[in-house]
Amino acid sequence: MSAPPTGANPSVYAPPTAFNIPQSALSTPVIPPPTPKQSPCTTPNNTIYINNLNEKIKLPALRKALSTIFEQYGEILDIIVQDNFRMRGQAFVVFKEQESAINAIKGVQGFALQGKPMVIQYARTKSDAIAIIDGSIEEHKRQRLEAKEKRAKEPPTKKFKSSSNSSLHPGSSNIPGASMYHFGHQVPALGNIPDEYLPPNNILFLQNMPNDITQLILTSLFGQYSGFKEVRSIHPAKGIAFVEFDSEPQAMMAKEALSNHLIAPDHKLKITYAKK
């Protein structure tokens, strides 16, 4: 059973089984939180922003889990979780009192929900629920609309285009941007395919490894994660390898934990899903 968050009442805290989270998740190792892309918001707010949530948790179960954990710190006005790509792995919890938000961050920061420690900070903007209470909802909506219109005027993000060389044969990897094939697995062209365009599966494709990497090192690194099966098709000279897990969720856990792992000086491990 997972320990309750610091500062929570153990008699009230419900174990993950109450959240309809699979039992297998209880035995998975805790995955270190990611390095923040920007400095956290430290200005106290009634609303807290949570990221690094496990994206495999269904929204109803996630909302219930967050409610059970955070209601111990005060009255909750709203819990915002969305199923769109931009909001995956994130949530907002709106408290009636600011003191509740302050205590919740202190008490729950780093608490692992289904193997991933929550990263919590104050929200950068006021929530609708609070704007309604303090009478500023109209101004709040106006500012939000202006921000939306400003984003719409920004240059669109360049979309990924697949290679037109779809008839390439194995061994044709000397062509710039072409795919390589190793032991039946298609290797995406290096630096060409963003992670989000690769569908999850149980085999991970590793890149940017030192040329003295060994199978033993990778086995020790990935073997600590549940479902690890084997290291396959390692090519030290190319700095690539494949690692197989029993299931897609287990591979996803390891990928999220070890992406950008400093496997050697000047070598941050790049991990994507293998193309089958």
Residue 173 confidence class, pLDDT cut points 50, 70, 90: very low
Helix (H) or strand (E) holding 92: strand 91-95
CB 103 within 8 A of CB 74: yes
- Asked if the model's pLDDT at residue 179 lies above 50, the reply is no
By DSSP bridging, strand 185-187 and strand 180-182 are antiparallel
Query: In this predicted model, what pLDDT tens digit does every residue of 95-136 receive, in sequence order?
Result: 999 999 999 999 888 888 888 888 899 988 888 888 788 887
- Asked if the model's pLDDT at residue 41 lies above 60, the reply is yes
Q: Which domains occur in the chain, in start order?
A: 16-137 (3.30.70.330), 180-273 (3.30.70.330)
- Asked if the model's pLDDT at residue 269 lies above 70, the reply is yes
Half-sphere exposure of 238 (CA within 13 A, CB side): 17
Q: How many residues does the chain have?
A: 276
Residue with tokens 């395919």: 193
Q: How far apart are CA 128 and CA 169, in angstroms?
A: 55
Q: How far apart are CA 238 and CA 249, in angstroms?
A: 27
Q: Mean pLDDT score of the chain, rounded to an integer? A: 74
Residue 36 confidence class, pLDDT cut points 50, 70, 90: low
Query: In this predicted model, what pLDDT tens digit does every residue of 199-233 receive, in sequence order?
Result: 788 899 999 999 888 888 898 899 888 889 999 87
